[in-house]
Amino acid sequence: MPGGTMEDHLLGTKIFHPNTKANKKDIGPNEEPLDWFMRMKIAYGAAKGLEHLHGSCNPPIIHGYLKSTNILLDKEFKPKLSDFGLAKLGSAGNKMHVSSRVMRTYGYCAPEYTTTGQLTPKSDVYSFGVILLELITGRRVIDTTKPSEEQNLVAWASPKFRDPKLFPQMADPLLRGKFLEKDLNQAVAIAAMCLQEEASMRPLMSDIETALSFLSGASDERPCSSLVDPELHSPKDGQTEHNDDSDSR
């Protein structure tokens, strides 16, 4: 893919502008980093892809290996999900899951996978929440160069999910505050819901896709009944109610 991976642009070299013929290796330090709209566009596209796997395929497909290096970008920065080597077919109904001990993506794995070895669509939702958190913060999932309390992205962010006043502290400094506060609140709230420790509390990918469509500009109007609520609790509280569903291509 001409645009490389999401990680390339979020954590590596500055992005090149869509529709140019420049190669990444030719991009200098004066290039702009990913802006807020582009980040939400990538998140929305990835959510669409996962929703497609979960909701449109019969039987549903569990990706099982979702991470920032597996989100590839075309020349217009439209994302494509890649590396389906660990993708699994789910069984029909609410008991859809597969038993697997293959997934080894530290930092992206859902808690239930580490304890039971079972992958479900909600495992993909958790991994997507980590990716959305990467896009919001510009931080690595695991960064050993940071202080010990900040090395694990989810552990660092989870306490902040309780207080919307702390949400601006989570935004990537490279964004320079160029985003609407309400959009940041929504994006953080979506990530928090995806990262609920209890799988049943996580939203469906279809609902996530709908919520992100408004943040990415794919929809012209805000939803009447928003999936997200800035006044939410930490994922570990298990008190936030949501139902969400996403799509992937």
Instruction: Tell whether the model's pLDDT for residue 165 goes beyond 80.
Output: yes
pLDDT tens readout for residues 216-226: 876 554 443 34
Among 4-8, 11-15, 182-186, 231-235, name the most confident range: 182-186
Structure confidence by residue, pLDDT tens digits, 31-50: 568 899 999 999 999 999 99
Residues 6+ apart with CB under 8 A from 186: 211, 214, 215, 226, 228, 230
What digits encode the pLDDT tens for the residues 128-153? Answer: 999 999 999 999 999 999 999 999 99
Higher-confidence position of 65 and 245: 65
Position with higher pLDDT, 103 vs 175: 175
Which CATH superfamily groups domain 33-71+81-237?
Transferase(Phosphotransferase) domain 1 (1.10.510.10)
Give 172's pLDDT tier (boundaries 50, 70, 90): very high
Higher model confidence: residue 181 or residue 229? 181
pLDDT higher at 93 or 246: 93
Distances (CA, A) of 8 to 88, 99, 143, 176, 234: 27, 32, 16, 20, 30
Mean pLDDT of 183-195: 97
Confidence of residue 25 (pLDDT cuts 50, 70, 90): very low
For CA atoms 130, 67, 3, 56, the dihedral sign is negative
Each domain of the chain, given as residue ranges in start order, spans 33-71+81-237
Query: Is the preceding omega at residue 59 within 30 degrees of 0, hence cis?
Result: yes
What percentage of residues in the chain have a pLDDT greater than 90?
Answer: 45
How many CB atoms lie under 10 A from the CB of residue 95? Answer: 8
Average pLDDT of the residues in 219-235: 46
Look-up: residue for tokens 């929305």? 44
